[in-house]
Amino acid sequence: METNVKKIAYVASECQPFFASGGLGDVVGSLPKRIVKQSKGEYEISVYLPLYTLKMNPKYFNKLVYIGQTTVKLSWRNQYCGIYKYVEGGVKYYFIDNEYYFKRTNYYGYFDDGERFAYFSKAAIEAMIYLNEIPDILHAHDWQTGMVSVYLRTLFYHDERFKHLKSVFTIHNIEYQGKYALDDDIIEDVFGLSVNDSHIFEYQGNINIMKGAMESSNIVSTVSPTYAEEILTPEYAHGLEHEVRRVKEEGKLLGILNGIDKTFYNPAKDDSLFVKYSKDEIENKVQNKLELQKMLALTVDENIPMIGMVTRLVHHKGVEYIKQIFNELMNENVQIVILGTGDSYYEGYFKDMEAKYPHKVRAIISYNQDLSRKIYGSSDFFLMPSRSEPCGLSQMIASRYGTIPVVRETGGLKDSIHNFEGRKGNGYTFKGDNAWDLLDALKHAISDFNNKEVHLDHITKVIKADFGWSASAKSYIAMYKKFE
Ligand code: GLC
C-alpha cells in the first residue's frame, strides 16, 4: 500500500531533555514533536544525536535501547558506531555512540571538533542506511551537522537511495561556523574528501563547514525573520555575508521565529519554583521573589523590583551596555540577579559588582537549570540587551512566567517583543547602540513597577502572549511542503 507519510531526519548536536547547552537544544527538543502532532502524522521524524555519555540526563540513560552497530569510514579510520534508540511524543531519537569522540566533559571546544562532528555527520548517514530509514528530507542544525549535506553531495552523490532527498540547513547562530585552515591533508585526512570537492566548503581561504552546508542544502533557514535580514550585512554575518547574499539571491533563504515548549516551561507545573502560579493566580508570583531574596541573601522586600538575567556572559549578549550603566542603575531602588557562565572577564566583572553592592546584586557563575527557572519565576523584569540575537528563547520563557522582558531591538528579540507604547506592547525595548537608552528603558520599567495598576496590566499582557510552537510549526510545515 502506498503511503503519503514523509520521513524527515533531524541531525543535531543537542536536544532537550537529554542534553543541551543552549537554545539549540530547546528547539531540537520541541519542534519535531510539534510538527508530528500538527501535521497529523503526515511527517515522521527521527532525530540523530551524538551520545554524550557524560552529559546525558540520567533519567533517560536507562531507557535507551541498543539497536546495533556499524562502522564509519572517515578517511583511513574505521570508527565504531553504536546506535541506541528512544521514542517519545511520536518522535524517534537515535543516539550515535562512540566514546572516543563523545565521552567528554564538554560539548564543544576541543582541538578535534572538526573531526568529531565530521564523524558524527557521516555516522548519521550510515545509521540511516543501517536502519533502512532513508529520509525524504534532511534537516540539519548549525555547523556541527553541516557536513551531512556536504557528504551527501560528495561521497553519496551516486547513491540511488539518496537521489530524491531534499535538505534544509538551519542557522541558529552564524558566529560559529566550523572554520579550519585550508589544507589538503585536513580535507583528505580528517574529512575524508577529495580536494576536487573543496570548492563546496572553501570560503575566503579557509575550510568553512557552515558555508559548505549552505552551498549544498536546498533551503537555508534561520531562526527569525529579522536575523535573516541582518545576516546579509557584515555587522552580523561574521564574514559569511557574501554566502548569505548568494543564498538569498537563489531564493533559498528563510527566517522562521522559534517557539517554546509551553509544557516544559509552565509556571503552574514547574517543580523548581518555590510557589507555582498561573495567569489566573498571578498574585502568587511575588512569593517566589521573596523566597529567592531569602535564598540569595538579598534584602527581602516585595516592593523592590528585581531584574533577572539568565545568559551566557559573552560580548554578543550585550554585557557592555550593562557595564556602562551599572553604577547609574544602582542609584535606583532595584535588585539584579545574574546567572550564567562565559568569558572570565565578564564573570569577574559581575562578581566585583556583587562585592560592591552586596544587598542589590547577586551573580551566580554557573549553568543551572533549576536556578534559572527560579529566576524566571521570581524576577519582575528580564533583561536581554543583546547586540545580536538570532532568535532568543529566554525572553519568551520569561514572558511565560509573567516576567517582563527588557530587550534591545535585534533579531528575534525585535520580532517577539514590542514596546508597551504600541498596541502590541509586551515589554520594554530600546534601539541602537547607546547604553543610555537601555538605562532609560530600565528607569521606565522601574517607574511603572511603582504604579501597581500599570504594572499588573503589563504582567497580564506579557503572560498572555503566546510563544508556543503552533505558528512556527505551521511555517516549518509550509517550508517542507515546498519540496513536494
Ligand atoms: C542560538 C541563538 C539563539 C537562538 C537559539 C535557538 O542559541 O544564539 O538566539 O534562540 O540558537 O535557535
pLDDT of the residue at 3: 66
Q: Is the C-beta atom of 258 inside 6 A of ligand 1?
A: yes
Q: How confident is the model at residue 422 (pLDDT cuts 50, 70, 90)?
A: confident
With contact defined as beta carbons under 8 Å apart, do 100 and 79 qualify?
yes
Element (H, E) at 462: helix 452-464
Q: How confident is the model at residue 79 (pLDDT cuts 50, 70, 90)?
A: very high
Question: What's the pTM value of the predicted model, to 2 decimals?
Answer: 0.95
**Rounded mean pLDDT, 180-196:** 93
Between CA 60 and CA 177 the distance in angstroms is 31
Q: Is the C-beta atom of 391 inside 6 A of ligand 1?
A: yes
pLDDT one-digit tens code per residue, 309-337: 999 999 999 999 999 999 999 999 999 99
**Rounded mean pLDDT, 108-112:** 95
- C-alpha angle 230-232-236 in degrees, rounded to nearest 5: 50
pLDDT one-digit tens code per residue, 44-76: 999 999 999 999 999 999 999 999 999 999 999
Is the pLDDT confidence value at 4 over 90? no
Q: How confident is the model at residue 423 (pLDDT cuts 50, 70, 90)?
A: confident
Q: Is the C-beta atom of 390 inside 6 A of ligand 1?
A: yes
- Candidate of 10, 24, 168 to mutate for ligand 1, largest count of ligand atoms within 8 Å of Cβ: 24
CB atoms within 10 A of CB 10: 28
- Candidate of 393, 395, 407 to mutate for ligand 1, largest count of ligand atoms within 8 Å of Cβ: 393
Q: Is the C-beta atom of 223 inside 6 A of ligand 1?
A: yes
CB atoms within 10 A of CB 245: 15
Q: What is the mean pLDDT of the chain?
A: 96
Strands of the sheet containing 77-88, edge to edge, are: 65-74, 77-88, 91-97, 43-50, 6-11, 137-141, 166-171, 219-222, 253-255
258-290 CB burial, b ≥16 within 10 A, e <16:
bbbbbeebebeebebbbbbbeeeeeebbbbbbe
Between CA 308 and CA 314 the distance in angstroms is 17
Q: How confident is the model at residue 205 (pLDDT cuts 50, 70, 90)?
A: very high
With contact defined as beta carbons under 8 Å apart, do 100 and 111 qualify?
no
Q: Tell me what percent of the residues of the chain surpass a pLDDT of 70.
A: 99
Q: How confident is the model at residue 2 (pLDDT cuts 50, 70, 90)?
A: very low
Strands 77-88 and 206-208, by their bridges, are: unpaired
Side-chain half-sphere exposure of 147, counting CA atoms within 13 A: 26
Strands 77-88 and 65-74, by their bridges, are: antiparallel
**Rounded mean pLDDT, 137-162:** 97
Q: Tell me what percent of the residues of the chain surpass a pLDDT of 90.
A: 97
SS3 state at 427: strand
- Return the closest-CA partner of residue 30 out of 42, 43, 17: 17
* Ligand 1 atom nearest to 22, measured from its CA: 7
* Ligand 1 atom nearest to 258, measured from its CA: 12
* Ligand 1 atom nearest to 412, measured from its CA: 9
With contact defined as beta carbons under 8 Å apart, do 348 and 356 qualify?
no
**Rounded mean pLDDT, 139-152:** 98
Helices and strands (H and E) in the chain: how many = 19, 18
Q: Is the C-beta atom of 255 inside 6 A of ligand 1?
A: no
pLDDT of the residue at 1: 42
Q: Whose CA is nearest to atom 12 of ligand 1?
A: 172
